[in-house]
Amino acid sequence: MDHFVGIDLHSNNSYITVIDTDNNRTFKKKARNNLTEIIKLLAPFEKQIIEGLKALGNSEITEHPQNFFKTGAGEYGEGDVFLGIRVSIVRKCIKDHFTISLQENLDLLKSPYHEVCLLALLILVKKIFIFKKKC
């Protein structure tokens, strides 16, 4: 389920509210105007990225990359797990999750799922490209 975050910014504090697609409030908290604190408060919603990618998976597609990337016992990709999401679909997810923090991005890179790691890397590459363009 998708969530939407609203932040009511005041001089010393912010009021953070998260609602779902049915307009039900799932989270409400007052926080100091400290980005680190606010990111920590919203960290539980990071799992939503992984769940959203899992929902895009296709079990019929999963088998091909496991053979291609040699995921069998003793092979170089042993243990890699695939959700069955085509790269073009993962690329479309960049814009939905582009604003995640560096720490959230690093956490996604630790995922056992190949496509989650790919998304994290694609987001980092896009951020670097934009940064270089500005310099």
Are 113 and 68 in the same domain?
yes
> pLDDT value at position 120?
92
The burial class, CB within 10 Å (0-12 / 13-18 / 19+), for 80 is middle
> pLDDT value at position 83?
86
> pLDDT value at position 122?
93
> pLDDT value at position 68?
74
Contact status, residue 14 vs residue 38, Cβ threshold 8 Å: yes
Domain residues for 100? 46-134
CA distance 16 to 13: 10
Domain count, the chain: 2
Are 52 and 26 in the same domain?
no
CB atoms within 10 A of CB 66: 17
Are 13 and 72 in the same domain?
no
- Structural domain contains residue 127: yes
> pLDDT value at position 1?
58
Write out the chain's pLDDT in tens, 135 residues.
577 777 787 778 888 888 888 888 888 888 887 766 776 777 777 677 667 767 777 777 776 777 777 778 888 778 778 888 888 889 998 888 888 888 888 888 888 888 899 999 999 999 888 887 887
Are 29 and 50 in the same domain?
no
CA distance 116 to 31: 30
